[in-house]
Structure 1
Amino acid sequence: MDTKVLYVAAVVIAAVSGGYYYYSGKQQKLEADAAQSMTYSAENIHLTQTHEDGQLHVKATVDRLAQDMQQKTASLTNLDASLYQDGVVNATFKANKAQSFDDNNKVVLSEQVSATKLLTQGQMQLDTTELTFYPKTRDIETDKMVIVQSPQAEFVSQGLKANLNEGQYEFFNIRGTYER
């Protein structure tokens, strides 16, 4: 066999082999890139979270969670959460749907939202169609109609801003009964 034919055959085999390895590696890279943008989901979630000092912070149950790791968002179905302060429940949140944004720095609760703040004289319950909660600062707000029931009053407000740490609530356009 002529060396020229062997040389051409070797170059063709090297080109085919190199092309195969190049494109097979690129295929693996494309699959890895696609995996980074995947949405992860889970069902029947029970969460318990503590502070750095070991104190209970949050307990929650969720029927379904879908999380986009790349966008740092999550969608929850049937959220039931309790917030703790000094080891005792001091607020609860229930909603049919919840959306979290910016790695859970902002949570928007919607569809039959109920928030309860436990007070020394009883509890204050807020019912609305949408409520935005900022977990780090424990601020809540909405521009939707809010039905408020507490030991001292029952009223309807067109919006709310509050800080759960300070117990300061700001209601807008209030109609209702005070000091029952």
Structure 2
Amino acid sequence: MNAPAHPGATRRRPTGRGAGTRLLGIYLNDHLAGATAGTDRAARLARTARGSALGRAIEPVAAEIAEDRSALLDIMRDLGVPVRRYKVCAGWAAEKLGRLKPNGHLVRPSPLGTVLDLEALRLGIEGKTACWQMLRRLGATGERLDPARLDTLLERARRQQETIEEWRVRQAEEALATTAG
């Protein structure tokens, strides 16, 4: 006779290929939600900075971030991972809600808003880089992931990171220098 499970017992999670496929789907959809938010944030920053040196630096990065989101969708399709629309909508909504933060100015944009946007993009690119790295590792053991494509995406993410970090530091120094001294 089997002993009854005690009230604090946890259920065993399924293991094996099916569980891994399910978890990969969750992982990629979570990254898609982040990519959706990042694409919107980058496009908005490029629009608001249009005509400035920051705008000229951010516009190509924003275009690449949109391309990276498309690449993620292609990879998901190649792996047979369905898009979870509710996660895409959550990423979109999170980016919109993130704009409501107080930034020290009621009517006009704040330089602090630009710094925070750049920091959010930096974090998003770090997350995207981690995703590409994990897929690259998985690609070494499978045939549905193109290692050369992932290497290209990784290199592009690293360049984006450098550009965003350079401008984040510049904008932060400009916006915060007078208050720290």
TM interval, shorter chain, is under 0.3
Structure number with higher helix proportion: 2
User: Which structure ranks higher in relative contact order (CA pairs < 8 Å, sequence separation ≥ 6)?
Assistant: 2
The TM-score normalised by the length of structure 1 is: 0.25
The TM-score normalised by the length of structure 2 is: 0.24
Structure number with higher strand proportion: 1
Structure with bigger gyration radius: 1
